[in-house]
Amino acid sequence: MLSEKTVLIGITGGIAAYKICELIRMFKRHNANVRVICTPNAMNFVTKLTLQNLSQNEVGIEEFEIPDFKPEHISYADEADIMVIAPATANTVAKIANGICDNLLTSVVSAFKKPVIIAPAMNCNMWENPIIQENIQKLYKHGYEIVEPEAGFLACGYNGTGRLASLDKIFDKTVEILNSKKKLAGKKIVITAGGTIEDIDPVRYISNYSSGKMGLALADEAHKLGAETILITTKDVQKSYKIIKVKSASEMQTAVENEFNNADCVIMAAAVADYRVKNHSEQKIKKTDSDTITLELVKNPDILKELCAKKTTQIVVGFCAESENLIENAKEKIQKKGCDYLIANDISRKDIGFSSDYNEVIILDKNGGQKRLEKASKNEIARQILEVIYE
């Protein structure tokens, strides 16, 4: 399965380090060449001799041990096909996210241009720390694969999320990436993101709280899987795939329609304003002595419904953001719109609502099926959504 593949394992100073001995054996049983790098603190939990015997290779620890006159961080980076950092402590996660290269492991990561899997493990309060979460999102943004920790009893005595993901999960993710055939290669996927903006005058507008994070995560994951990815968004984004910046619902409709005919899938993750001002002012509206002001609103085009009405071979996916009666409203919407899938999420929850880096959704399909995706990062939810669509 892994013949002629070199897996570089990075071990940091967490109690879960002892588990990585078995992970090394799993890779060796599948004929991988395994190289190991440890941070100095990892040696408090596992010995160099043990790791050398299991991997059948020298173990790198100190930054300036330079055999054969090769800078080690370049040598390790050149030799390996993939790097797996497990367990990754909060300290190491922070260093990688901010480009700090103060030991051999972090220097190798900085020089590594192939896939990197990071499996964090730490106290649950550390994992929930907003700074740690910002670092995790930063790593997601730059293309790192994160195998998120699991909930359970922790070595520190707490019970919560922070335990190293199962070795099977880490192993399977590594194999999946190494043997990846870019599952969506040859597919064109169009994704919308962000809240549309409807001008009142040159100063004021009508919009909503959508951050665009879910749509961006979907675009990132589609791109990773090899799809020709088009992101139509109201947000300022720079990516290696095609970005079309729009503002209003009308602009978004035009952009989507221009890409629709030869698309394989359209995912309408954007929060499109239902109404716009009928006659927006070209000049700033001045405050008067009146205590009230009246704005006449007219309906915006229903982009999702119109796409569904004219689709031929395209898969059309809608989103349903609800603050109450989630399932009932979602069932009604998928029937009314006619889309193939509808992603329903509860925006009343602060932990998964607007601007959160996490989500929890229910996927409805046109045949009446439902699948719940439990709370996870938006990148992980995006990956699972694409799996459902193209399973």
**Tens-place pLDDT, residues 196-241:** 999 999 999 999 999 999 999 999 999 988 899 999 999 999 888 9
**Alpha-carbon distance 2 to 178, whole Å?**
8
- In the numeric block, the tokens 């909930």 are attached to 151
* Cβ neighbour number for residue 267 with a 10 Å cutoff: 29
pLDDT tier at 67 (50, 70, 90 boundaries)? low
- pLDDT more than 90, % of the chain: 77
> Which sequence positions are flagged as catalytic?
156
Nearest-angstrom CA–CA distance, 288 and 294: 12
Per-position DSSP letters for 328-359, written without gaps between them: HHHHHHHHHH--SEEEEEETT-TTTSTT-SEE
92 Cβ partners below 8 Å, 6+ apart?
A: 12, 39, 85, 105, 106
| Statement: residue 344 has pLDDT above 80 | yes
Q: Which residue has the higher pLDDT, 333 or 143?
A: 333
Q: Is the pLDDT of residue 277 over 80?
A: yes
**CA-CA distance, 101 to 121, in Å (whole number)?**
20
The H helix count followed by the E strand count for the chain is 13, 20
Q: What average pLDDT does this structure show over 90-111?
A: 95
Q: How confident is the model at residue 121 (pLDDT cuts 50, 70, 90)?
A: very high
* Average pLDDT, integer, range 136-142: 90
Q: Give per-residue pLDDT as tens, 150-195.
A: 988 888 788 889 999 999 999 999 998 887 767 898 999 999 999 9
Taken in order of first residue, the domains within the chain and their CATH numbers are: 6-178 (3.40.50.1950), 188-389 (3.40.50.10300)
Q: Given pLDDT bands bounded at 50, 70 and 90, which one contains residue 78? A: confident
10 Å CB burial of residue 49 (0-12, 13-18, 19+) is exposed
pLDDT mean over 371-377: 91
Burial (CB count within 10 angstroms: exposed 0-12, middle 13-18, buried 19+), residue 27: buried
Q: How far apart are CA 278 and CA 295, in angstroms?
A: 8
CA distance 193 to 229: 13
- Specify the pLDDT at position 181: 66
